[in-house]
Amino acid sequence: MRFVWKHLPLPSLHPDAPAAHLASVAADKQGKFWEFHDKLFANQKNLKYDAFLSYARDLGMDVTKFEKDFQDLSNKKVVDDDTTEARSMQLTGTPAFFVNGRYLRGAQPFTGFQKIINEELERLGLPIPEAATLQ
């Protein structure tokens, strides 16, 4: 299984989201995307630049490099390209998931993923692991 993150900031709902997305791209350049992601979600009420610097420090990142990468216009292109892709798929909210092209909208319980993954494994003629059978 491959998990791919795509950016879709929603500034009308979350005004600080665009900056948070840019900061996560900067963190990714130091191999800290998921750790930074977790910091952002744990601190959703504080998505300001000074907080980003603090999170980078907490994660042992090179803060000078982080600051430079945060300002790098290529990071904005990454976020903009992902947003354009999401819009082309008519996605208007997050989270959104695709499993072999099958769309799951919004937050889903584990069983929602389990069902669709098992159906895809079956469709492909692949075995369903015993631990993944629906109860």
Q: 3-state class of 46 per DSSP?
A: coil
- Which pTM does this prediction carry? 0.82
| Average pLDDT rounded to a whole number, residues 87-111 | 88
| Average pLDDT rounded to a whole number, residues 8-24 | 93
My answer on whether omega of the bond before 95 falls inside 30° of 0, hence cis, is yes
DSSP 87-116: HHTT--SS-EEEETTEEEESS--HHHHHHH
| Average pLDDT rounded to a whole number, residues 99-124 | 90
